[in-house]
Amino acid sequence: MSQSIPDPDTHVASWQASGLSQAAYCRQEGLPYHRFRVWLRRRPGPGPGEVPNGFVEVRRPSHAGVVWCEWPNGARLVFSERVDPAWLVQVVRSLVAPC
């Protein structure tokens, strides 16, 4: 019996549609997280939702009023209440500023 090789593009598209974090998607699908990250890095251009400066989009899910920022390394900043966008920009800038 031969084991089928997972198709990276199919998995990346499924992850994007799932709304899950990368780690949660990998757990759900039984994929090694490090392999999934390699697949994302090998894709041409910025990663899904990523802009050229390394940030990823800020998403506001439709459930529970939760807002979060997620960085390409998997770090996540989560707010369970509404936040002022200008204040959020200041917080993110201070987190990524060199010490």
Per-domain boundaries in the chain:
1-44, 52-99
Q: How far apart are CA 34 and CA 49, in angstroms?
A: 19
pLDDT digits (tens, 9 = 90+) for 1-38: 445 667 888 888 888 888 888 889 999 999 999 898 88
Given a cut of 60, whether residue 95 has pLDDT beyond it is yes
pLDDT digits (tens, 9 = 90+) for 57-80: 666 555 556 677 777 777 777 777
The model's pTM: 0.43
Question: Which residues does residue 56 pair with via DSSP β-bridges, in sequence order?
Answer: 50
Write out the DSSP string of the chain: -PPPPP-HHHHHHHHHHHT--HHHHHHHHT--HHHHHHHHHHSSSSPTTB-TTS-B-EE--SSTT-EEEE-TTS-EEEESS---HHHHHHHHHHHHS--
